[in-house]
Chain A
Amino acid sequence: MSKPDEARVEEKLYQNRYVVDGGRSHIRVVAHDKPSANLLAMTTLCPAGCYTLSEAGQVEVAPDGCFECGTCRVMCESGGEVEWNYPRGGYGVLFKFG
């Protein structure tokens, strides 16, 4: 969580209600050696800051706090870079106001 921006998202996400579905991540980044432009863009574009660049230069996703907004699907699914699904019924973000 190096970027100051990152820490602020972390603080914002704490306010939200999120039911973790242990061990079942609903979004998966397809293995790649060099991330495409669209996949790289997700490291700034994701509103919940779920996409990060690992030291080895790969883009990783940790979909805790994900809003299921679909932005990464719109950007990366057609290019086959991301496998996107909704979490199991009742899991994931649950908006208190919406």
Chain B
Amino acid sequence: MSDTPAPAAPAPARAAMKKELPERFKAYRNVWVIVELERGQVHPVSWELMGEGRKLADKLGVELAAVVVGAPGAGTREAIAEGFVYGADLAYLVENPILAEYRNEPYTKTLTDLVDTHKPEILLLGATNLGRDLAGSVATTLLTGLTADCTELAVAADKSLAATRPTFGGSLLCTIYTLNTRPQMATVRPRVMPTPTRQEGRTGRVVEHPIDLKEESIVTKVLSFLPDRASHKSNLAFADVVVAGGLGLQGAENLQLVRALADVLGGEWGCSRPCVQKGWAPAERQIGQTGKTIRPKLYIAAGISGAIQHRVGVEGADLIVAINTDRNAPILDFAHFAVATDAIRFLPALTEAFRARVSAHTSDRLAG
């Protein structure tokens, strides 16, 4: 392959001589957040977006709307109530049995119909499989701009949306504007924005939006749904909690301690490259530059020095705990917490402490 041609140079010149916003888009107002409702469950990223949407709406002096789409009685009312608690002023509700399971065609038709009718200036979706699938087809149908996986959303001086996202594999960030089309669409990855504080008892008005959909005209059918628990494949890349072991465990048998803690936390276990080289663990359990990249809420590294090849695979974790006897191991440069003790001795104690702490609460809740 030849060397990389200079990627399309950013065009500040063109952005500067921005054409005036076409007349028809001048009326577009308000910030919308698509509430991702599947099988009665709302994906937490929707509430994180409410927090962001609230900030943008306040700066623009407009209203924040929650958009809830689904089959009647499938948690739509509860989702709207939660939407208000997290800051929405109003909610657009589309209920139709055909919208029970997410499918691109009916959902795209519904959302584009809503947008053409109520004309939002900013439309936010979670960068989940559903959000990305939907955002792509809606943006193309509306022929508007869409910026994906944003890590920061701000209002520019001219009241347009300044969306910042990682580029070149995350080594750089870039700020992107949607120049002369509306709505300005953006998707945001889960767990990037904080969840806003709940304002119990807060309510707002609901706008019901009828939509006529005919099942016969929709090609793709959902035959069934297999929940994740059923499949035991190691989905290290998607896990919320990961516990990994390294050379510091001195032996393959001690990886057992890592698995025990992972089980108690309902997470996945992994290891560093040297463990795979020594044959302690299979290659698909390896985390790092030549293995898996993980983005869990909690990552516990037991006896891992944290060489740069490992770091690039775990830097996305929300919380990194390093259990390592070496006080100046490289992992301490990017871990959030460090316990300078021998992992082999500490892991069992940590497993018991978590088991006690986690199960005690569940039993209270069940009893309470």
Contacts and interface: CB of A to CB of B under 8 A. Distances in A.
Direct contact of A and B (CB under 8 A): yes
A21 B283 CA distance: 11
Given A22-B283, A62-B277, A64-B273, A10 B307 contact: yes
Contact of B308 (A14, A23, A60, A62): A14
Interface of B: 247, 273-274, 277-278, 283, 289-290, 305, 307-309
24 contacts: A1-B247, A1-B274, A1-B305, A1-B307, A7-B307, A10-B307, A10-B308, A10-B309, A11-B307, A11-B308, A14-B289, A14-B307, A14-B308, A14-B309, A18-B290, A20-B290, A22-B283, A60-B278, A62-B274, A62-B277, A62-B278, A64-B273, A64-B277, A64-B290
Main SS at interface, chain B: helix
A93 to B, nearest CB: 13
Contacts of B274: 1, 62
Contacts of B307: 1, 7, 10-11, 14
A83 B289 CA distance: 27
Nearest to B247: A1
A17 to B, nearest CB: 11
Nearest to B251: A55
A11 B311 CA distance: 12
Interface residues of A, number: 12
A22 B174 CA distance: 34
Nearest to B291: A20
Contacts of B283: 22-23
Contacts of A23: 283
Nearest to A18: B290
Interface of A: 1, 7, 10-11, 14, 18, 20, 22-23, 60, 62, 64
Contacts of A60: 278
Contacts of B290: 18, 20, 64
B325 to A, nearest CB: 13
Given A1-B307, A14-B307, 4 more contacts: A14-B289, A14-B309, A18-B290, A62-B274
B89 to A, nearest CB: 50
Contacts of B273: 64
A10 B306 CA distance: 11
A3 B232 CA distance: 39
A29 B277 CA distance: 14
Contacts of A22: 283
Contacts of B309: 10, 14
A23 B291 CA distance: 13
A1 B330 CA distance: 12
Contacts of B278: 60, 62
Contacts of B277: 62, 64
A21 to B, nearest CB: 11
A14 B277 CA distance: 17
A-B CB proximity, top 5 nearest: A62-B277, A14-B308, A20-B290, A10-B307, A22-B283
Nearest to A54: B278
A1 B273 CA distance: 12
A18 B290 CA distance: 9
A64 B308 CA distance: 15
B16 to A, nearest CB: 36
A4 B232 CA distance: 40
A1 B306 CA distance: 11
A59 to B, nearest CB: 14
A41 B272 CA distance: 27
Most buried by A among B247, B283, B309: B309
A10 B311 CA distance: 13
A96 to B, nearest CB: 9
A10 B308 CA distance: 8
B305 to A, nearest CB: 6
A26 to B, nearest CB: 14
A18 B309 CA distance: 12
A20 B305 CA distance: 21
B330 to A, nearest CB: 8
B304 to A, nearest CB: 11
Contacts of A64: 273, 277, 290
